[in-house]
Structure 1
């Protein structure tokens, strides 16, 4: 099999376009003797004459035209490779694997993927729903490139394996049934709901967050029902079975309940992104993080206004 030399094929191609060795040498910033030597070597490699004399000039043989006909497909593919590589280097192409908790998938990741389809369709995001402990195991093992979690569940800032990036301060709003007497009350305070049945998980971080917020407001919440999924919690609130503290991210786009902001006393949870230390310099990953920040900023600015 012939050991094809792309550079020599480019010289032959330029000779076909320019017509003379001198013009070819000028176009490629070579000497005429270097052009002739390279073409002689190419003819030896392929085992057939590529040029024949025509007066003071040379012309391509039929064998040379056959070689170039096949070489054009190679040149085309190399052009595509150059274009894709340039896109990759500028963050316009590549694959980024994201591990994220369910609320973040819905409120942050999906809108980010939609935005990337418009601005950088060559960037592919692979999503894996995972709670914090699993997401960071996957990140450390190199199975995802980016992990989203609550700050309280993320590795410490001093963990040398990861770089943490603050994305969003997600406020907690109160979900009320549509016909609740306080659904339209002005200046709603958490203490006004002390006598309500509350819906939250029996244990875990969300139970701690709900209990802590209510206790800070001066009462211990009476747990009427236990649930950990936001779909179930909001369905029960809609049915008038109780009230709940709900992250704004989890309530975006969900109807059937009245969401009320608590003002200055409202509790907040912090959402962070983490990457393997040093990997944030990758162009595609940097592009994805930038879009996540934009989506998070939209949420923070009250893209969905709470009365």
Structure 2
């Protein structure tokens, strides 16, 4: 028998209960055992440890000095097991754990940071590790196991995909407004339609989800946008618009983070109602992990709050 096998937790619990209850009968009743089973288990434990644990005291038994020594050391084991049970229970309820989140630039301040703050209060044992990543890169990180949850963009609430590795959760439909130079001919028009801007130079990234979203919105309005300049960051895009270098579609969530900038006028496109969709993704089956589920719930709540705060 290996040395650690001597320390049978179930039998140690019986010994501790006997110390607390005082008699074999009371111990049996407390543990839903028969008195003979209690006696047998304690006899076996004494053999395993190689020391006497009980001695006769009239018609009763009492613990030996060796038994008290054993229990003194066993208490540390019981305490650690209690901690383990508490942590497992917390884990099962999504109260502890680490979740690695990959998110595109505007989602970090608009969605992820508020979620981290909220979880510090509601789930202080859940740690969120944030990694900024381009919207298209987030899926690569998720597939490689480098993040547990990815925030990305799509032209539709639930994007079509043949990749069965991921489960996607729609979070937010973000309205797209058009950014115009302040001296643009349509800057003072109350209602602008995308078709009115078919001949303009457009500023958007060369590839990736945002490029697809811009092209898709314009094509839905009946034209293919002519790309005048390529940029990925909103500060750069809005600076170019302000300099009269072109026009751009700008999500309201991004505008709230980046600010409009000088020389730029924003116009809503209510008639066209273009949207970009913010989507959370996890590896298929991963949504059942309690800590991940807690982060997803917090993201949904923050997305609802963000939608309620913004017009449109």
TM-score band, normalised by shorter chain: 0.7 to 0.9
Does residue 167 of structure 2 align to residue 163 of structure 1? yes
User: How do 1:1-307 residues align onto structure 2 when only pairs under 5 Å count?
Assistant: 1-3=3-5, 4-152=7-155, 156-175=160-179, 187-190=190-193, 194=197, 200-201=203-204, 203-205=206-208, 206-207=210-211, 209-210=213-214, 213=217, 226-234=230-238, 244-255=248-259, 257=261, 259-301=266-308, 303-305=309-311
Inter-partner Cα distance in structure 1 for 2:21 and 2:266: 73
1:73-109 Cα shifts (integer Å, max 9, x gaps): 1111111111111122222222322222222223222
Inter-partner Cα distance in structure 1 for 2:240 and 2:178: 13
Inter-partner Cα distance in structure 1 for 2:79 and 2:31: 19
When the two structures are superposed, what TM-score results if normalisation uses the length of structure 1?
A: 0.82
Q: Which moved more, 1:291-300 or 1:276-285?
A: 276-285
Instruction: Quote the offset at 1:291 in angstroms.
Output: 1.5
When the two structures are superposed, what TM-score results if normalisation uses the length of structure 2?
A: 0.81
- Alpha-carbon contact 1:149-1:271 (below 8 Å) kept: yes
Q: Which moved more, 1:33-42 or 1:205-214?
A: 205-214
- Alpha-carbon contact 2:97-2:127 (below 8 Å) kept: yes
Alpha-carbon distance change, 208 to 99 in structure 1, aligned in 2, over 3 angstroms: closer
Q: Which runs of 5+ in 2 are unaligned?
A: none
Q: Which moved more, 1:252-261 or 1:5-14?
A: 252-261
SS class of match (1:252): helix
Q: Which moved more, 1:192-201 or 1:95-104?
A: 192-201
Instruction: Quote the offset at 1:202 in angstroms.
Output: 5.7
Alpha-carbon distance change, 158 to 220 in structure 1, aligned in 2, over 3 angstroms: closer
